[in-house]
Structure 1
Amino acid sequence: MNTFVDSSPLGPAPHRGAEHAGSAAGARPHTTEGVAGFDRPEQGELELAERHALRRVEGLSTELTDVTEVENRSLRLERVVLMGVWTSGTQQDADNSLTELKQLAETAGAAVLEGVTQRRRKPDPATYIGRGKAEELREIVESTGADTVVCDGELAPGQLRQLEDIVKVKVIDRTALILDIFAQHARSREGKAQVELAQLSYLLPRLRGWGTTLSRQAGGRAGGGNGGVGLRGPGETKIETDRRRINAKMAKLRRQLSHMETSRDVKRDKRQVRRVPAVSIAGYTNAGKSSLLNRLTNAGVLVEDALFATLDPTVRQARTPDGRAFTLSDTVGFVRHLPHELVEAFRSTLEEVADADLVLHVVDASHPDPEQQLSSVREVFGEIGAGSVPEVVVLNKTDAADPLVIKQLRVKEPDAIEVSARTGAGVEELIDAVAGALPSPGSEVRVMLPYGRGDLLSRVHEEGRIVEEEHTCDGTRLHAFVPGLLAGKLDAYAAL
């Protein structure tokens, strides 16, 4: 028998187990917690009480307190029930995952009514949660008045269809939810094209039609059956037409993105030729990356306490304390189980991380599970080929974090830098760490540059590290360390 183990705080959840049967419909079920042996993989069967228990997760309801907020959201909010399958880890891990799904749903503009998790060895291949629990989910939907069910996982097309047939409301999975958030937040032409490509890639295998009822029947003789040789049977069905159009649209979007990528490649090549080091700010969504970029460079980019507020990369120039120029780029945030379609569509943008000389891996130290954030982001680094890029772990939001959690993180990441982008604490230490981690120009030069070669002097200031500079009547005397390519151009002005 399949069971839900977890449910959210609003309203009573229906229960179908005989041992918890109530006299009235909607009676609050008995709560079972901490069943011994539940986490032992060698145990052959799940405990009966655990398999039949529904336990509420506190803090999952969307609270609307401001009147104007209620008025605005009432026009657009969907009322959703969250549902997840818990196959490994602890109960706390399952609760954290469902809490993150709640934040995603609210970012998309939904009001969360219930949250339910089920303990299974693996998802049911037909309905994801099993038919019996799908019927319980339908009762929860009916009792709360929800119009959407959000699944904390990726549903196969068949699972999606069968689950909708049982619960009688729209069902979406985690991937569709994240894609919807990206579609709302994309601003640039390239960002919109990337999101549309990801949405179409996700939609293509999930198209639903009505077989030959919407087919284009071939014509024929009057009263002559199927129309003669070569014209018998149905023509192109509606779903086949949709697939053809989606494939054509996806091909067009890929061509557009390849053209847009050229501009970014040209700019990146210019920076590489001039040997300006590149630093990428990457990390989990809502970890404070944009706030940190603003603190370091006064970039003025959007800062919002919401998931995926930044989709379009922002590049700004900064300097180390010794005068070396480098670029700082803010990238799209990552999340656990980041949809494969998004990784593929945003691959050109994520290459900013793979091509960087240094990655500032920003972690939200105030998050309930920052270690999981670290592992999820590093998993994406591996997918995009950025696993070998030098990394500085930045523990952000330390002003709101539990000191014990920070101490535990420092045990696993002893070289991490503690900062608060909001207050500015620790930023100077971070700048020093960036300066120490960036590649240093390797060629030492002592030159006398005439005043007519201000272009070379400007490049030395931009690309190199100046040890000594003196303005004389004959020109500018420099002692500096510069990249090898620039050193070759300065050889003609070597000072004796």
Structure 2
Amino acid sequence: MIDEQKVTSEKAVLIGIISQYQDEIQSKEYLDELQFLTETAGGVPVKRFVQKLEKPHPKTFLGTGKLEEVKAYIESHDIGTAIFDDELSPAQMRNIEKVLDCKILDRTNLILDIFAQRAQTSSAKTQVELAQCEYLLPRLTRLWTHLDKQKGGIGMRGPGETEIETDRRIVRDKINILKKKLTTIDKQMAIQRKNRGKMVRVALVGYTNVGKSTLMNAISKSDVFAENKLFATLDTTVRKVVVKNIPFLLSDTVGFIRKLPTQLVESFKSTLDEVREADLLLHVVDISHPNFEDHIASVNTILDEIDSADKPTIMVFNKIDSYTHKRIDEDDLIAEKTKEHYTLEDWEKTWMKKLEVISVFISALSKENLDTLKEITYEEVRKIHIERFPYNNFLYDEYTEE
């Protein structure tokens, strides 16, 4: 339950639906994630509203009665923001705003806002700004709803449309400028990747907040920013790593999320190119999260969208020291065991070890079983390295014999 105590930060209500596309369990999971997104953005969720609908209402997302219930709560509790778990159409946003008379955000808008907060480099800022402009363009009319309250008559015909068209032209021009800027940035980043030579490239991928940056620090002994918040890392960080006798490049990429806005997938093309051009993927999974299987599926879907699903992959099940949920086969781990009693041998008996790809169980924070991950990564990088530089085979044989 969300604590409804009085708060001084921006208070918000969260709104979702149970539909033919997502059942009650999934709806709760999505709203849990929306709550985390809201908190990451600096808001304070105080209540959830959920309605069972076959599909979202085309005009107001929720039914009329439910929307009135939300309105009554917002007015009586001085709520300034209503956040919807799905992307709203421009028409839905206008209609809802007229009823609730408060700030209306949808999941996409919220994620874009977090990205805007997190962007540090010129590249990330440009990518986020482009995504925001593309999201804003079809929704510009909502900025001029105050004109709807004015009566028609002499001198009142057309100014609203004129204002809107002017704004649309400004935003379109801005989008063109940002796209040209991103093209230049993409070329620069492509040159940087080319200048790295033919070294094997390993990319960390995974759902947001699964511990990729912490793992990056542990493997590369660097100091990449890591925080227990969604999208702590937006800019791709690349470090040279040497395991035994083989150097390779390790990149930490932006975390994925369910219902990732299409605008971000497109605008973050240069960031995702690090994944596209990688020789090996380390798919990091937060095994302590109750919905980690869904996270795996979401990441695989996005990898498929960027033509990277068939790359050699190592599944890295992270946070084994934080495991608190009974999500594995009853025959695998005894119910009476607590997380303190789960051993690596226990994890090795689960279905996760039986996947078609290589799986390893670690804790990036406590560095538990990290040496095994390094060894497995070394062997996979070595295979790729030998294929790329076959004349160096004897060096590896000599090293192994020693």
Deviations along 1:268-310, whole A, 9 cap, x unmatched? 1233xx3200000010100000000000011101111100110
Return the structure number with greater relative CO, CA threshold 8 A, min gap 6: 2
2:386 maps to 441
Normalised TM-score (structure 2): 0.85
1:375 maps to 297
Q: Is the 8 A contact 2:290 2:325 kept in 1?
A: no
- State which of 243, 250, 264 in structure 2 corresponds to 1:320: 243
- State which of 262, 267, 271 in structure 2 corresponds to 1:345: 267
Structure with the greater alpha carbon radius of gyration: 1
- State which of 223, 226, 247 in structure 1 corresponds to 2:172: 247
1:53 maps to none
Cα displacement (A) at 1:121: 1.0
Matched residue type, 2:174: K
Identity %: 39
Query: Is 1:114 paired with 2:66?
Result: no
Deviations along 1:401-439, whole A, 9 cap, x unmatched? 137435689415523210101110121111111122221
Q: Distance between the aligned counterparts of 2:240 and 2:52, measured in 1? A: 50
2:363 maps to 420
Q: Is the 8 A contact 1:62 1:111 kept in 2?
A: no
The structure where helix makes up a greater share of residues is 2
- State which of 109, 116, 133 in structure 2 corresponds to 1:176: 109
Structure 1 ranges of 4+ moved more than 2 A: 60-64, 88-92, 209-214, 232-236, 402-410, 412-415, 442-445, 463-469
Q: Distance between the aligned counterparts of 2:160 and 2:363, measured in 1? A: 63
- State which of 65, 75, 90 in structure 2 corresponds to 1:142: 75
Query: Is 1:432 paired with 2:357?
Result: no
Q: Is the 8 A contact 1:361 1:391 kept in 2?
A: yes
Q: Is the 8 A contact 1:288 1:362 kept in 2?
A: yes
Cα displacement (A) at 1:144: 2.3
Distance change >3 Å, CA 110–CA 417, structure 1 → 2: same
Q: Distance between the aligned counterparts of 1:63 and 1:292, measured in 2? A: 37
Normalised TM-score (structure 1): 0.70
Distance change >3 Å, CA 235–CA 152, structure 1 → 2: closer
2:230 maps to 307
Distance change >3 Å, CA 213–CA 421, structure 1 → 2: closer
Cα displacement (A) at 1:143: 2.6
- State which of 93, 96, 112 in structure 2 corresponds to 1:160: 93
Distance change >3 Å, CA 175–CA 234, structure 1 → 2: closer
1:411 maps to 351
Q: Is the 8 A contact 1:83 1:116 kept in 2?
A: yes
1:12 maps to none
Matched residue type, 1:255: K
Distance change >3 Å, CA 276–CA 406, structure 1 → 2: farther
Q: Distance between the aligned counterparts of 1:146 and 1:313, measured in 2? A: 37
1:294 maps to 217
Matched residue type, 1:328: L
Paired residues, number: 369
Q: Distance between the aligned counterparts of 1:211 and 1:105, measured in 2? A: 26
CA RMSD in angstroms comes to 2.8
